[in-house]
């Protein structure tokens, strides 16, 4: 199964236990494939630089660069497909959609309301991390 994780899910998965972390773990076991883009990795770096994450990153024993590069090593880098503006309230969300199209993803995983309200994009379901985990671990 091919997945694209929104950066909010990646940040959560790298720093806390829960469904996002379990999805990242599923990549390490070979149960799923992750896809990302340079734009999404740059956004992840910007998000993790926020002061609210500093203590959690320090407690992890890894540097911000270690976290981002470790995630990049797990994911396959794609060149996002050109798409028309779709998420007008937050154009950065279009990068997630464009990555998913290029990756021929089976699921887009996000906690972002603007993406979740779409429900699907070009037949790719957009789901919360807990729902994605249920799908990925279903027998």
Is the CB of residue 5 less than 8 Å from the CB of residue 109? yes
Encode pLDDT of 80-113 as tens digits.
999 999 998 888 899 999 999 999 999 999 999 9
Query: Closest Cα partner for 34 from 100, 118, 131?
Result: 100
Name the pTM for this structure.
Answer: 0.94
DSSP string, 76-110: EE--PPP-----TT-TTHHHHHHHHHHHT-SEEE-
For the structural domain made of 2-137, what CATH number should be given? 3.40.50.1010
Encode pLDDT of 73-89 as tens digits.
999 999 999 999 999 88
Question: What pLDDT shows up at residue 138?
Answer: 86
What does the domain layout of the chain look like in residue ranges?
2-137
- Phi and psi of 107, rounded to 5°? -145, 145
Residue 62 tokens, joined: 């890894």
Query: Closest Cα partner for 20 from 132, 126, 112, 97?
Result: 132
């Amino acid at each position: 199964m091919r997945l694209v994780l929104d950066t909010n899910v990646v940040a959560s998965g790298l720093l806390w236990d829960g469904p996002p972390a379990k999805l990242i773990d599923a990549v390490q076991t070979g149960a799923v494939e992750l896809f990302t883009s340079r734009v999404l990795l740059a956004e992840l770096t910007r998000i993790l630089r926020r002061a609210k994450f500093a203590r959690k990153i320090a407690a992890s024993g890894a540097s911000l660069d270690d976290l981002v590069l470790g995630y990049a090593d797990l994911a396959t880098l794609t060149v996002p497909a050109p798409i028309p503006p779709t998420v007008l309230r937050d154009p950065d969300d279009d990068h997630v959609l464009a990555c998913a199209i290029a990756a021929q993803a089976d699921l887009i995983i996000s906690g972002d309301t603007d993406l979740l309200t779409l429900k699907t994009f070009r037949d790719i379901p957009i789901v919360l991390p807990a729902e994605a985990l249920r799908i990925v671990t279903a027998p």
